[in-house]
Structure 1
């Protein structure tokens, strides 16, 4: 059970090197993909490790509104979902689907809704309405769906009516969001003759597409081919299965970064060397900056001696873009500059993850410069306390929490924004700092 949070939270600075064993939530990215496949499957599935947080809650609610029977229970401190699939058959509308602030859910559910006759209205909270959806809406329209914007084309709210099956091939840019690609991939087995998706630009966040393919395979569908500029998915379907969701590598970046910025050792349980998520590569990034790490089958440990300085690096983060806020915070503690490239597309995430992130960190005396496709973080002698805004972005909020472990006086506005992916984040962070006896 999470604590009731104030409107502004003062982060407790660590008195010395940290040492902690941390349990992070299951991956919401994997959980939402597993829920999608289970909902479309023939038969019953058991998903072990449904992620807590608003994104997964919104997905569960939308699937149930679309007639999927889901029973969620708790066992061994994990949420277990028993899902009775609909074999790709959706009830007729009108049905209203509220996706709140969940970008992933809104995009996945929009593609799912296009399989049914409709009409289905997909909507979200005002910040989500501002986020772009045009590449997905354009592709669904090309595949035969009827797409009717409530206000502006390419944004929520949108009314969707299917079924799909119009074009043999569609084209979309690959450098905007891999969520569009994953959304189409997961529904494609239920399109007559499947789908051939062309990418007009290089695919960003490719590891997330590989996660999608892996989850589809776990539910019995393997007819997927991913090349540099083309993704082909055959016709078929999913079958009910038992699926265990691994710990969230994106969430793990925050406690592991705590060991990097403050010194000490942090272990994340359950995240091992066979992790599906590309964000698990963040451990290698920390090592390149001066940390040491051990990764076993069942856990990951990051360590840094207090007398070993952090070094800045040049890094293209296109494939691990969710970790840019974490990386930027770690870079403020390095003794040499850090240059982050390949992530211009994250300006249209929950926040402007370049401009908003830089502006907030600069409030503390940091020197963070926004460039065309990334950030340049220059070393500074001393940072100071400041009130930092989260801009409706859970990843900014959690990254600022890590900064507060080494900079006295960091206050975070709207700390409850972390409920999107890790509702218990602040309790977990509070258990990390070393304290004087």
Structure 2
């Protein structure tokens, strides 16, 4: 997905002045999960380079192993032997940890096989919905049982392959529901035609479609209808790009402090819609330059930020990042159309509001919006709610507010175990170069 329409290109002279090439951003969580699914479903052996190594991705890999797939993990290189007929195991139990992609993608992959497959997850993930996805699977003839609470984990899939055909899907709570069906479509007997009645975070679907094509399968789209052929994937050698959602914290840090950071590997050719967060920073007054293979953000002198109103429906994972720097803007920051953030690892709208109020910042909140008014934050103890994005976002607030602490700094292991060290390294380099 080209992202260069709204960002300045930045000439070579400007980019050469970048004081720090930040190579610490790990591989994309979304791309790693999709790549693991595609590799498992492909004919042949796939090599994945620079995958994310975190609690989420390790949980996904362990789930594949439990289903009978052969994986080898080396530093910066994972190898997966694919199977075009679904899992090798005829019976398995998979614990999905906190991973939403694991909890939503793997039961669908299992349905393409033959056997009985049990899935469970953490208490946090048990709270998150599965209903639209499992209803679509039942409409396709898949037998499954929610063991305790309908539409939630734990879940047992009695798999006998997926015949295919037409199905209608509501993806208004999570684009992952649509992605899971798109990914499994080539493993069905007849292919799938999916009509979507609602869709949130659409750029994540664009990632899915682009990656499926890299593995040899082209999805046809006609408005809200997606058609996937019954055609085997082909194994490939695939490099995972850095995580744009994770990069948002370091881009925001530059904007907030008046410093500069360049993230290599994320540029105009990036698959990830969350790179559009850089456009938000540009609207707030930061200088943003996008090249083919990197993005650079330079904060305005003194870290000046302008207030804005922004619809973040398609980049909702970056809502906490914006909320965390919003108090430093010169006017209100209003974030709209983000109801789906309420059903993430925690209710992120409420969590942001709670923590901003603890910091002494005036906040108004509605069903799908939050409005944050300028105010110098005071020291406070941040309630992370076991949510990596809350922990990382308010760590950026702390760059200009000494005395902020986190109740669970370790929850960042979900996507970036080395986050706190990396942020401290960045801060040290900026202070050294002043």
Choose the corresponding residue for 1:205, options 197, 201, 210.
Answer: 201
Residues 308, 100 of structure 1: alpha-carbon distance in 2 compared, 3 angstrom cutoff: closer
State the partner residue of 2:217.
221
State the partner residue of 1:397.
391
Matched, 1:95 2:92: yes
Report which of the two has the higher share of helix: 2
Q: Equivalents in 2 of 1:193, 1:166: separation in Å?
A: 6
Q: Equivalents in 2 of 1:165, 1:155: separation in Å?
A: 21
Q: CA deviation at 1:435?
A: 4.0
Matched, 1:330 2:331: no
Unaligned runs of 5+ in 1: 1-17
Q: 2:96–2:103: 8 Å Cα contact kept in structure 1?
A: yes
Q: 1:257–1:402: 8 Å Cα contact kept in structure 2?
A: yes
Q: CA deviation at 1:305?
A: 2.7
Q: 2:35–2:48: 8 Å Cα contact kept in structure 1?
A: yes
SS in 1 for 2:195: strand
SS in 1 for 2:118: strand
Q: Equivalents in 2 of 1:429, 1:335: separation in Å?
A: 25
Structure having greater relative contact order (Cα 8 Å, sep ≥ 6) = 1
Aligned length: 413
Q: CA deviation at 1:166?
A: 5.1
Q: CA deviation at 1:167?
A: 5.9
1:274-316 deviations in Å (ceiling 9; x for gaps): 1110011111110110000222222211002324621111111
Q: Equivalents in 2 of 1:215, 1:129: separation in Å?
A: 28
Matched, 1:294 2:258: no
Q: Which moved more, 1:159-168 or 1:61-70?
A: 159-168
Q: CA deviation at 1:229?
A: 2.1
Q: Equivalents in 1 of 2:158, 2:327: separation in Å?
A: 48
State the partner residue of 1:351.
346
Q: Equivalents in 2 of 1:402, 1:183: separation in Å?
A: 33
Q: Equivalents in 2 of 1:368, 1:110: separation in Å?
A: 40
Matched, 1:425 2:422: no
Q: Which moved more, 1:82-91 or 1:181-190?
A: 82-91
Q: Equivalents in 2 of 1:396, 1:320: separation in Å?
A: 15
SS in 2 for 1:192: coil
- TM-score, structure 2 as length reference: 0.92
SS in 1 for 2:220: strand
1:224-260 deviations in Å (ceiling 9; x for gaps): 1234422221211101111111111111000110011
Matches within 5 A, 1:336-415: 336-380=331-375, 382-415=376-409
Q: Equivalents in 2 of 1:343, 1:259: separation in Å?
A: 25
Q: Equivalents in 2 of 1:308, 1:239: separation in Å?
A: 48
Q: 1:246–1:271: 8 Å Cα contact kept in structure 2?
A: yes
Unaligned runs of 5+ in 2: 1-17
Residues 362, 409 of structure 1: alpha-carbon distance in 2 compared, 3 angstrom cutoff: same
Q: Equivalents in 2 of 1:25, 1:165: separation in Å?
A: 35
Q: Equivalents in 1 of 2:378, 2:222: separation in Å?
A: 47
Residues 309, 89 of structure 1: alpha-carbon distance in 2 compared, 3 angstrom cutoff: closer
Matches within 5 A, 1:171-250: 171-201=168-198, 203-222=199-218, 224-250=219-245
Residues 308, 401 of structure 1: alpha-carbon distance in 2 compared, 3 angstrom cutoff: closer
Q: CA deviation at 1:169?
A: 1.6
Q: 2:164–2:190: 8 Å Cα contact kept in structure 1?
A: no
Q: Which moved more, 1:427-436 or 1:348-357?
A: 427-436
Q: 2:379–2:404: 8 Å Cα contact kept in structure 1?
A: yes
Matches within 5 A, 1:47-126: 47-74=48-75, 79-126=76-123
- TM-score, structure 1 as length reference: 0.91
State the partner residue of 1:152.
149
Q: Which moved more, 1:208-217 or 1:298-307?
A: 298-307
Q: 1:142–1:167: 8 Å Cα contact kept in structure 2?
A: no
Q: 1:149–1:157: 8 Å Cα contact kept in structure 2?
A: yes
Q: Which moved more, 1:261-270 or 1:274-283?
A: 261-270
Q: Equivalents in 2 of 1:60, 1:174: separation in Å?
A: 25
SS in 2 for 1:188: helix
1:178-205 deviations in Å (ceiling 9; x for gaps): 001001100011112111112222x111
